[in-house]
Amino acid sequence: MKRSTAVKGVTTLASLLLAESASAEYRLNMTQGVTPISHDVYDLHMTILWVCVAIGIVVFGAMFYAVYKHRKSKGAVAANFHESTFAEFAWTIVPILILVSMAIPATKTLLAMDDLSDSDMTIKVTGIQWKWKYDYLDDGISFISSLAPEHNQARQRDSGIDVTKIENYLLEVDHPVVVPVGKKIRFLTTANDVIHSWWVPALGWKKDAIPGFINEMWARIDKPGVYRGQCAELCGKDHGFMPIVVVAKNESDYRDWVAMKKQEQADALASADRAWSKDELMKKGAQVYATSCAACHQANGQGLPGAFPALAGSALVKGPVEGHIDRVMNGKQGTAMAAFAGLLSDVEIAAVITYERNSFGNDTGDVVQPATIKAARK
Amino acid sequence: MSTATATHDAHEDHGPAKGLMRWITTTNHKDIGTLYLIFALIMFMIGGAMAMVIRAELFQPGMQLVDPAFFNQMTTVHALVMIFGGVMPAFTGLANWLIPMMIGAPDMALPRMNNWSFWILPFAFTLLLSTLFMDGGGPAAGWTMYPPLVLQTGDAFPFMILSIHMMGISSIMGSINVIVTIMNMRAPGMTLMKMPLFVWTWLITAYLLIATMPVLAGAVTMLLTDKFFGTSFFSAAGGGDPVLYQHVFWFFGHPEVYILILPAFGIISQIIPTFARKPLFGYSSMVYATASIAFLSFIVWAHHMFTVGMPTAGELFFMYATMMIAVPTGVKVFNWVSTMWKGSMTFETPMLFAIAFVFLFTIGGFSGLMLAIAPADFQYHDTYFVVAHFHYVLVSGAVFSIMAAVYYWLPKWTGHMYDEKLGKLHFWLSAISMNVLFFPQHFLGLAGMPRRIPDYSVQFTGFNQISSIGGFVFGLSQVLFCYIVYKTIKGGQPASEKVWEGAQGLEWTLPSPPPYHSFVEAPAIK
């Protein structure tokens, strides 16, 4: 009777502690994540952690016992031993055995991670200073995902906005990656300019996105939800401002989203064929400028001396329109200026060039039509 | 410096030249050791000031003090200054002061080269630090200088490369000097296996430096030609490979981290026996463990690159090899604990730092072991968990060992005891604030905060604030350290020859301070 009460007490206490740690988990410990791999990684992490804690208790216990007991002020007299073949042998062999027992589960998990067979769909992730481009290779959907405008505004040094009031500050994007649950999704990572790293902790891994190379990794997400992450490889000035948002939906919701996205793309494509008014282009151009250009050339077009050239009064911007189109579409080798031909649509390029040529005191009056850009692509 | 001159003069007949020229033209190992140590302390404070900027910006979410571009310059230059300007010159300074006195030699083997290897450094760092004032600012691509990002550096780029070449030349010359001195100038009877462990660890470190510094020089030269001479070593568009740089860099970089810790192992192995009043446990296994660590350091480099997309076999190899390092490192820790066991310990400041080293360095070792597990590293990599890890091994490891060494040998160098009360105050302030500073960073990393970001999501605020407060206290505590050192150089209780009751070794047979030229005749070795 007494014994069962004690057992009950211990289990209640244990479950309380566990509940405690579960609520604190997000802040203190690695996430368990939402994929089979992320669970394995979490278990591996906890195993190594506890092994280290156990070794630490033994070693530090011995050390602090000695510090406490074998001190001169307590009258300790120094012994004179200074070697022991047995001890040396033991503390070489025992750690090797512990390491082997840790290497076995680690190897298993690694092999599972590297098994990319039988994937259901493929998403190509391209890192670009400082945003992500997603290509759904099976559905032909493709879009760019940047830090949400509200967050981008708040994070400026003199914004005067209280960032603590902004939900998911710095972890929100304009266009999230939407994926179905329960499917084995293959992610291909690559980059346009410098090395980035695509990391969503809930998926259990990060993978570097390297220009000229394609890496692969996979995830099968168990439950619908919104999972946030960030670029994990230093990629320049705004490395801290290129978040990732994965929205996992069930199959039918995902299909709806695909249909909607396809319609959006078709509409955008059609709009490139009509003539745009200057006002329309200026309005669209201002949006594109804010997400694609302002990080370097600054919102006021003044650039950053020594790092990024000013557009205000720039000879290139005020000069012949062909030169300007060429620079935006093809970039400039050896600098951070990307080739935007592969990143922006005809309308977006036409709009942003129009905007640049008629802002920051540049008053060329030029209007560039999407059709011109379309022609320039050939 | 002028006061140091005065003290030396008082003891010496054929002493040093007077005034500034003494320091510029000196070929004396003690003078050069002093120069290295003072230079390292200045760099430690400059690099520390940059860390203060970083911690101040990270005190709360949102950008308050600096722009992201400047923040990146701070993290980059902080690392370069601390590694190449702080820790490495400090160890070289200790080597200069101590190796000749420990092996019974009159000076270093190559005194003129010794002078040159020091005097390159102030120029190298002037060059590096001057980039902060150029258009576009200093280097901002991280101390690892990964292309293609580093190729976007502005005017600072060639200055950074040249300064790294100069640091490398300085290190290589210093290492040649250490090896030649140890191999040729030991007093008769001082066999290799009788050498103090500090001498042993430096001998091995010197070989690591000679083996790896040219590799770094090669890597950065390839960056230079990629930027200015149209080559494409690291550009995929030109048929090159950006990952190749990482392999070459870390082939230097991993041995480099042992360059930053092996001399520390040597220092701790000198200090613990003194204050435990008991010989070092397992001397020969300490030597073999150091050599094994040095060997393994050459075959584990790609564990810094688990996420670049290596073949499975490569990842397994580098994971297993990295885990093996825990074995010789464990041997060292067990030997230190066994040395303390059944000793008769006292806890003067050097011993306090040494015990903190064993405790905190081992924590850094544990997180290192966790990072070695490749699948888990896919989560840990490039987060604050890594930042916490390497600061545990570099701050409470390398830097604490240097502080322990300074407190331990300063009475010998200056002839004055330092202020024990202030020393202990400095220890407790540093040890506690160091943990307040870096321990929460483990949690930040696990919770998902990437490293090298100037701003963060609000859920990370609490631990960042704790960390910043720890950082400010740690930074201010080092001002106290500067004061203690200054005060000891100026004066204080005269130190005896032996200084510490349990001290063993040739340097403790010399007067405190030792004459300008010591062991002009080789001492007899028992």
For the stretch A44-59, pLDDT in tens is 999 999 999 999 999 9
* Whether A103 and B381 lie within 8 Å, measured CB to CB: no
What's residue A25's pLDDT?
38
Residue A1 falls within a domain, yes or no? no
Is residue B326 less than 8 Å (CB to CB) from chain A?
A: yes
pLDDT < 50: residue spans in chain A? 1-2, 13-26
Whether residue B77 has pLDDT greater than 70: yes
Sheet holding A177-180, edge to edge: A177-180, A243-249, A225-231, A196-200, A205-209
User: What CATH number is attached to the domain comprising A299?
Assistant: 1.10.760.10
State the Cα–Cα distance between residues B74 and A299, nearest whole angstrom.
Answer: 24
What's residue A6's pLDDT?
52
Query: From the list B135, B281, B308, which residue is nearest A210 (CB)?
Result: B308
Same domain, A262 and A150: yes
Closest to B399 measured CA to CA, from B488, B507, B478, B485: B478
Chain B nearest-CA distance from A246, in A, is 15
Same domain, A189 and A296: no
Q: Are A262 and A140 in contact (CB under 8 A)?
A: yes
Contacts of B281 in chain A (CB under 8 A): 81-83
* Whether A164 and B316 lie within 8 Å, measured CB to CB: no
What's residue A21's pLDDT?
42
For A15, other C-beta atoms within 10 Å of its C-beta total 10
Residue A166 falls within a domain, yes or no? yes
List b or e across A113-134, with b for residues whose CB sees 16 or more CB atoms inside 10 angstroms. bbeeeebeebbbbbbbbbbbbb
Three-state secondary structure readout of A50-78: HHHHHHHHHHHHHHHHHHHHCEHHHCCCC
Which residues 319-348 on chain A approach chain B with CB closer than 8 angstroms?
334-336
Residue A214 falls within a domain, yes or no? yes
Q: Over pLDDT 70: what percentage of chain B?
A: 97
Q: Are A205 and A197 in contact (CB under 8 A)?
A: no
Residue A6 falls within a domain, yes or no? no
What's residue A159's pLDDT?
84
* Whether A102 and B337 lie within 8 Å, measured CB to CB: no
Total domains in the fold of chain A: 3
| B408 tagged catalytic | no
Query: Domain boundary residue among A216, A250, A269?
Result: A269
Contacts of A157 in chain B (CB under 8 A): 63-64, 66-67
Q: Are A41 and A205 in contact (CB under 8 A)?
A: yes
3-state secondary structure of B239: coil
State the Cα–Cα distance between residues B387 and B398, nearest whole angstrom.
Answer: 15
Amino acid identity at A143: F
Query: Domain boundary residue among A223, A243, A269?
Result: A269
User: Structure pTM?
Assistant: 0.90
Same domain, A201 and A324: no
Same domain, A225 and A289: no
Residue A30 falls within a domain, yes or no? no
Chain B nearest-CA distance from A99, in A, is 7
Same domain, A144 and A260: yes
Average pLDDT over residues B124-134: 95
Which residues 272-291 on chain B approach chain A with CB closer than 8 angstroms?
276-285
User: What CATH number is attached to the domain comprising A245?
Assistant: 2.60.40.420
Same domain, A171 and A222: yes
Contacts of B450 in chain A (CB under 8 A): 199, 230-232, 240
Same domain, A165 and A125: yes
ipTM above 0.85, yes or no: yes
Same domain, A91 and A210: no
Range of the domain at A351: 274-376
Residue A340 falls within a domain, yes or no? yes
* Whether A240 and B68 lie within 8 Å, measured CB to CB: yes
What's residue A80's pLDDT?
86
Q: Are A288 and A351 in contact (CB under 8 A)?
A: yes
The backbone torsions φ and ψ at residue A137, rounded to the nearest 5 degrees and listed phi first, read -65, -25
CA distances from A160 to A150, A167, B317, B464 (A): 13, 16, 51, 21
Residue A23 falls within a domain, yes or no? no
Query: From the list A106, A229, A334, which residue is nearest B151 (CB)?
Result: A334
CA distances from B489 to B12, B24, B464 (A): 17, 20, 38
Query: Domain boundary residue among A247, A269, A291?
Result: A269
Average pLDDT over residues B185-209: 96
What's residue A316's pLDDT?
87
Same domain, A230 and A294: no
Is residue A171 less than 8 Å (CB to CB) from chain B?
A: yes
3-state secondary structure of A126: strand
Same domain, A127 and A264: yes
State the Cα–Cα distance between residues A40 and A33, nearest whole angstrom.
Answer: 10
pLDDT in tens, B359-369: 999 999 999 99
Same domain, A259 and A280: no
Chain B nearest-CA distance from A286, in A, is 23
Average pLDDT over residues B322-338: 95
Same domain, A148 and A233: yes
